[in-house]
């Protein structure tokens, strides 16, 4: 790669995607420099990321080896091709460390690059989508926004069979990823113009995954600008509840006694958690605060607050696996060539886009 030079912003983004410190990168670069290693300091990495020195030639290769990416990716401008554009939303259970969030944000940005390049190589560019914004006001609530989405996307009354399929059909890209534990359920990004992108935690159970995707859809539709975090989270939850459990469709299901057996029955039908159903029943006035609290106590005593009965199968993305099938099966690319299209090493491409339950298994040529 004659005259190739690393981009400082990309160096930082790639390091964060690996969850590495500058000191760890410098140590890895030293190891990658050969049997008689050249010591690379943390200060070198710091200056490289700030643009105070150029990373070229052998040091570019050491840097790439340390980060585990093809050297060509280090030279790309992270502001080109949609990296890092648009407000990022999260559905999380608790506060995460800043470093953990930065790692997930980096994964989000790189996934956008990877999928765009895979789509381009498959000659099926990601361009069209049916997402739109709904501006909330005193007269337009989060529930109204959910009803507008159902109407615009022609979703039939009743339970949504496959939430991931709904957003993919509307043109979004969905990928299942390791988000560093179970504290972060999903993350999404849309600049209002390009294709929306959602990452879903591979550890989330099926019912929570569905609600998380609906929650993120609410953010993408309603929240074009940063706002009060707690208020936006409540709005996204209200959107998800109305989208997955429309009041007009589910109200009658809460007639009579709302107990654990009824919640388990409804969970099989609506494919959301018992906790979400119980909260929906309360919000729709189907039970009192006291009745709600009584069932919550019973669920806690049985351990259902940690692990509910009735397992809902996880939904899986189909759009990106179809693009990968096009590359490998229809166009006959080798695994190595397909990985190069996505700016990944073959082992990472295999793990992210070919292997395991995330995608339909494929056979490399």
Tens digit of pLDDT for each residue in 335-351? 999 999 999 999 999 99
CATH 1.10.260.40 domain position(s) in the chain = 1-80
Report the alpha-carbon distance of residue 282 to residue 287 in Å, rounded. Answer: 5
Tell me: pLDDT of 193 over 70: yes
Residue range 149-182, pLDDT digits in tens:
999 999 999 999 999 999 999 999 999 999 988 8
Residue range 300-349, pLDDT digits in tens:
999 999 999 999 999 999 999 999 999 999 999 999 999 999 999 999 99
Percent of the chain at pLDDT > 70 equals 92
Residue 354 is classified by DSSP as: I
What are the backbone angles phi and psi of residue 160, rounded to the nearest 5°? -90, 120
Classify domain 1-80 at the CATH topology level.
Answer: 434 Repressor (Amino-terminal Domain) (1.10.260)
8 φψ region: left (φ > 0), alpha (ψ -120 to 50), beta (else)? alpha
pTM, two decimal places = 0.92
């Amino acid at each position: 790669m004659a005259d190739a030079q690393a981009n400082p912003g990309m160096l930082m983004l790639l390091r964060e995607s690996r969850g590495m410190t500058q000191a760890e990168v410098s140590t890895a670069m030293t190891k990658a420099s050969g049997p008689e290693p050249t010591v690379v300091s943390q200060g070198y990495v710091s200056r490289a990321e700030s643009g105070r020195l150029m990373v070229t030639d052998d040091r570019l290769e050491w840097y790439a080896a340390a980060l585990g990416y093809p050297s060509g990716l280090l030279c790309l401008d992270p502001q080109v091709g949609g990296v890092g554009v648009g407000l990022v939303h999260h559905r999380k259970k608790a506060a995460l460390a800043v470093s953990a969030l930065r790692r997930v944000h980096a994964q989000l940005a790189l996934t956008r690059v990877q999928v765009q390049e895979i789509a381009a190589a498959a000659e099926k560019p990601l361009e069209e989508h049916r997402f739109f914004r709904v501006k909330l006001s005193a007269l337009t609530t989060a529930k109204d926004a959910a009803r507008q989405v159902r109407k615009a996307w022609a979703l039939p009354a009743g339970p949504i069979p496959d939430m991931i399929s709904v957003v993919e059909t509307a043109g979004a890209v969905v990928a299942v990823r390791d988000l560093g534990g179970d504290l972060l359920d999903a993350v999404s990004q849309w600049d209002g113009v390009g294709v929306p992108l959602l990452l879903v935690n591979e550890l989330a159970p099926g019912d929570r995954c569905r609600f998380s995707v609906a929650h993120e859809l609410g953010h993408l539709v309603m929240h074009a600008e940063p706002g009060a975090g707690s208020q936006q989270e409540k709005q996204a939850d209200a959107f998800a509840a109305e989208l997955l459990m429309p009041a007009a469709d589910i109200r009658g299901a809460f007639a009579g006694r709302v107990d654990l057996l009824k919640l388990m029955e409804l969970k099989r039908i609506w494919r959301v958690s018992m906790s979400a159903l119980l909260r929906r029943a309360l919000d729709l006035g189907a039970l009192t605060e006291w009745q709600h609290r009584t069932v919550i106590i019973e669920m806690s005593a049985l351990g259902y607050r940690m692990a509910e009965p009735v397992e809902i199968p996880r939904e899986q993305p189909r759009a990106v696996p179809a693009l990968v099938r096009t590359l490998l099966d229809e166009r006959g690319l080798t695994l190595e060539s397909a990985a190069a299209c996505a700016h990944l090493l073959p082992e990472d491409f295999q793990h992210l886009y070919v292997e395991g339950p995330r995608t339909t298994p494929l056979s490399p040529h």
